[in-house]
Amino acid sequence: MKRSILVVAPHPDDETLGCGGALLRHKAEGDSLHWVIVTSMPRDAYSATLRKRRAAELREVARLYEFASTRELGFPTAGLESVPRSELVDKMSAAFKAARPDVAYLPHPGDVHSDHRVAFEAAVACAKWFREPAPRRVLAYETLSETDAALDATAQPFRPNVFVDITAHLERKLDILQRYAGEIGEFPFPRSLEAVRSLARVRGAAAGCAAAEAFQLLKETL
């Protein structure tokens, strides 16, 4: 049965780093994909050239994933903590209501970047069962340079308990990731093709396949 899949990305490229392979697998299985981008480049902090380039990147990434919808919430990058929570939840709620997701992929709440934590909290507020239409499955994804960089010993760590075989989709995930030219660096930079491929191999070794993505299951209604 065709399902609606929603991915919440605090910043463009988080969706590809965290669950790009799973999204491609969903698409291959006939599911519809919906992309929520929480932040954008503020006009007073980024040049028109950079903002134009980013817009072109997003159009290309959306085309490659064949997203059924892309919704940009437009909040300032690295500034979600200063946004009134009610405003953020209202816009997030509208995205959930429009997509009516069966499955939602969210950033991990223990990520070091405050945008990730705030985006997670807003999305979880929209995933309550009495807020129709609530997703029946909610998963947290890991983001290289954010999830692995959380050094707070008191925080909840990322504990993967769901593994998705992305062997057939890894190369396409890496191809899409390269569309974010300004975000990719040379290894050992964590957001490098080699690091992303290596993580997929490690997660695959844990799951018994050549390449996988790992998730933490937060909720499932059967």
- For the stretch 54-102, pLDDT in tens is 999 999 999 999 999 999 999 999 999 999 999 999 999 999 999 999 9
CB under 8 Å to 47, separation ≥6 — which residues? Answer: none
In angstroms, the CA 147 to CA 218 distance is 16
How would you classify the pairing of strands 32-40 and 4-9?
parallel
Domains of the chain listed by start with CATH number: 4-220 (3.40.50.10320)
Q: What is the pLDDT of residue 25?
A: 98
Q: What is the pLDDT of residue 73?
A: 98
| pTM given for the model | 0.96
pLDDT above 70: residue 127? yes
pLDDT above 90: residue 24? yes
What does the mean pLDDT of the chain come to? 95
Comparing 131 with 147, the larger pLDDT belongs to 147
CB under 8 Å to 168, separation ≥6 — which residues? Answer: 25, 28
User: What is the greatest pairwise CA distance in the chain?
Assistant: 48
- For the stretch 143-176, pLDDT in tens is 999 999 988 766 779 999 999 999 999 999 999 9
Q: What is the pLDDT of residue 184?
A: 94
What mean pLDDT comes out for the span 19-37? 98
What mean pLDDT comes out for the span 97-114? 96
Q: What is the pLDDT of residue 153?
A: 66
pLDDT above 90: residue 200? yes
